[in-house]
Amino acid sequence: AFGDKRLVHNYGHGGSGWSLSWGSAAIAAGMALQGGARPVAVIGCGAIGLTTALTLKRAGAPVTIYASERLPHTRSARASGQWTPDSRIADADRVGPEFAALWERMARLSWAEHQTYVGQPGEPVGFLDRYSITDAGGGSRQPTDPNDIRFAEYAGSITDLTPHSHDVRPEDTPFVGSRVRLGSWMQFNIAELGHRLMSDFLLEGGRIEQRTFNAPSELATLTEPVIVNCTGYGARALFGDDSIVPVRGQIAWLPPQPEVRYSLYHKGVSVITRPDGVGVQTLGRGDMDGYGDDSETPDRTFAEKGVEIVAALYRRSGVRV
């Protein structure tokens, strides 16, 4: 409780916000609506805020989103947009034993709901081939530091959901001379999906009000008896929650190439192709890249390093870049 209001926290999803959004929303909505449908204030308009607001609205509650920024200007809009449901989701040495089952429930609920957007106009959610290319000498990932966080890994419990990858002959791919695995990954076309979520919420009677909160006490001025906090990393400042750590890292965005219908991973660099751009994310240290760094200032040198690794792969394969 928060004064005479019910306060539900729904934040802290690591690199899995879009992936777990619907499942997390369902759980938060169930907590918010205990005792019946009442007016609800959702704080935040990112992936978690929008899906939570829609879930509450479809359960019969009047819902208003209060946020300083709408989705296109939130951190959610700058995510890679791939199905990564356990990406940096928790520190395995600090999370409770009951969390694994909760995570699986969120992942399965989310997977099912995401499927309803597959094949829709504008392709808000789709599946894309993804190549993983490994040279004979292995990748370029740096040695593990003993101080690195041991992130929880749960994907093994939902292998029945996702398509499996398999080895393919390099000569059957653009990547001659390397070992190649091919899989099919679910991908969120965030520009289209975000537009769809916001439009659906408003069309179904939801409201969005621009508002900035600087202290928890300011939430008490809201008229709604139920508040769901979906502020993500913003909860660190708003609620003084130092357990929330930034994990995103750098993603360089290049102009869209609609003719390219696959993504790839090579030497610690992930390339994501979406209708709204081509993302290049360098992950030399794996999940520790970007950990604890809250800067959103683009690092061009870092971006160019990742682009050059991929360009070298194509040059070696005889593809003009």
* HSE-up (13 A, CA, CB side) for residue 161: 21
Question: For residue 7, what pLDDT band results from cuts at 50, 70 and 90?
Answer: very high
Q: Under DSSP, is residue 11 helix (H, G, I), strand (E, B) or coil?
A: coil
Strand partners, 66: 43, 209
Query: For residues 217-253, b (16+ Cβ closer than 10 Å) or e, as one string?
Result: eebeebebebbbbbbbbbbbebbebeebbbbbbbbbb
184 in a domain, yes or no? yes
CATH code, domain with 137 = 3.40.50.720
**Section 134-149 average pLDDT:** 65
Please tell me the least confidently modeled range out of 20-24, 88-92, 138-142, 232-236. 138-142
HSE-up of residue 56 (Cα within 13 Å, Cβ side): 34
- Is residue 97 one of the residues assigned to a domain? yes
Structural domain that includes position 307: 6-316
CA–CA separation, 106 and 125 (whole Å): 18
Please report the pLDDT score of residue 285 as a whole number.
67
- Residue whose pair of structure tokens reads 């920024």 in the numeric block: 69
pLDDT at 187 exceeding the cut of 90? yes
User: Which pLDDT value is given to residue 262?
Assistant: 94
Q: Residues with Cβ < 8 Å from 155, sequence gap 6 or more?
A: 85, 86, 162
Percent of the chain with pLDDT over 90: 65
pLDDT single digits (tens) 31-54: 999 989 999 999 999 999 999 999
Q: Are 67 and 49 in contact (CB under 8 A)?
A: yes
Query: Looking at residue 302, what is its pLDDT?
Result: 87
In a domain, 249, yes or no: yes
- Within-domain flag for 321: no
Rounded to whole angstroms, the Cα distance separating 40 from 204 reads 15
Q: How far apart are CA 48 and CA 214, in angstroms?
A: 20
pTM of the model: 0.92
Cα-based distances in Å from 148 to 243, 249, 292: 16, 15, 11
At residue 318, the pLDDT reads 75
Does residue 100 lie within any of the structural domains? yes
In a domain? residue 1: no
Coil, helix or strand for 238? Answer: helix
Token duo for residue 298: 């683009």
**At 140, is the pLDDT very low, low, confident or very high (cuts 50, 70, 90)?**
very low
Q: Which segment of 111-115, 203-207, 216-220 scores lowest on mean pLDDT?
A: 216-220
Does the residue 262 lie in any domain? yes
When mean pLDDT is compared across 55-59, 170-174, 175-179, the lowest value belongs to 175-179
In contact, 189 and 122? CB cutoff 8 Å: yes
Cα–Cα dist 237/217, whole Å: 13
Look at residue 320 and tell me whether its pLDDT is greater than 70.
no
Q: Please give the pLDDT value at position 247.
A: 77
What's the structural domain count of the chain? 1
Rounded Cα distance, 136 and 269, in Å: 17
**Residues 241-260: what's their mean pLDDT?**
86
| pLDDT score for 149 | 81
Contact 48, 134 (CB under 8 A): no
Lowest mean pLDDT among 168-177, 268-277, 286-295, 311-320: 286-295
How high is the pLDDT of residue 136?
65
The single-letter DSSP state of residue 6 is E
pLDDT for 321 beyond 80:
no
Q: Chain centroid to CA 29: how far?
A: 20
Tell me the chain's radius of gyration from C-alpha atoms.
20
